[in-house]
Structure 1
Amino acid sequence: MAYLELRDIKKSYYLGSQEFPVLKGINLSFEQGEFVSILGESGGGKTTLMNIIGGLDSSYTGDVVLNGNSLRHDTNKQLDAYRRQTIGFIFQNFNLISHLTVLQNVMVSLEMTTLSHKEQDPRQRITGSGGLKRTH
């Protein structure tokens, strides 16, 4: 059984009464730790699919299944935990907060976890030649 499965995912947008289908029965499976790229033309549904996988969009048909359990009926709090602890995204556009430094942007997400400040510290260090290092 796959770690994450998409089962017959369908999504349409509407302009007035006119339907514009974007996702037309997507079936995918992912193994734990697998690195996946989603490529396609502009307007092809990549962001829509990522929003569904990430639990940000619930207005679709089909099912997203994690470890054999559907995410369909998860509460907002459960979906927040799923996004925080289970799934990660690297966006084409960085979505950084422009008035914060790179380190401060990293800290924003770390502060939303259950990690203590001591546990957060090693995670915010990027070491090596030319890398970033936190200064106290």
Structure 2
Amino acid sequence: MAYLQLVDIKKTYHVDNQDFKVLKGINLSFERGEFVSILGESGGGKTTLMNIIAGLDSDYSGDVLIEGKSLKHDTTKQLDEYRRSTIGFIFQSFNLISHLTVRENVLVSLEMTTLSHKQQLERADELLDKVGLADHKN
């Protein structure tokens, strides 16, 4: 079974009494640890799809499954935990906090976890090493 599965994801925006179908039945599977890029033209639905995967948008048809469990049944608290500890993505136009180091920018998101400060520092260093930025952390 895939770690993350998208099953017949459809999304339509309603603007001025018109329907704009953005996602028209997306079916994808991702394995744990897999690195994925989603590319496409402007307005093609990339951000919409990412918001659905991240649990930020629940107004769609189809299903998002994590280890076979639907996100649709999760409470707000469960979705917050999912976003905090399970899913992560980088937007095309990302914004770093310019007065912070690379390590400090990574620590911003880790401050929302239950990790101790020492564990946060260790995790930040581990993540930066994993993506080849350990030499640039300061």
TM-score grouping bracket, smaller chain normalisation: 0.7 to 0.9
C-alpha contact 2:102 2:137 (8 A) present in aligned 1: no
Return the letter of the residue paired with 1:95.
Answer: N
What 5-or-longer segments of structure 2 have no aligned partner?
none
After TM superposition, the score normalised by the length of structure 1 is 0.87
1:132 aligns with 2:136: yes
Q: 1:55 to 1:129 in 2, by over 3 A?
A: closer
C-alpha deviation, 1:18, in angstroms: 0.3
* Worse overlay, 44-53 or 91-100: 91-100
Q: Which is helix-richer, 1 or 2? A: 2
1:94 aligns with 2:75: no
Matches for 1:44-59 after TM superposition, within 5 Å = 44-59=44-59
Question: 2:55, 2:30 → 1: CA distance?
Answer: 16
Q: 1:130 to 1:57 in 2, by over 3 A?
A: closer
Question: 1:83, 1:57 → 2: CA distance?
Answer: 12
- Percent identical: 72
1:79 aligns with 2:79: yes
C-alpha contact 2:107 2:121 (8 A) present in aligned 1: no
1:110 aligns with 2:110: yes
C-alpha deviation, 1:106, in angstroms: 1.6
After TM superposition, the score normalised by the length of structure 2 is 0.86
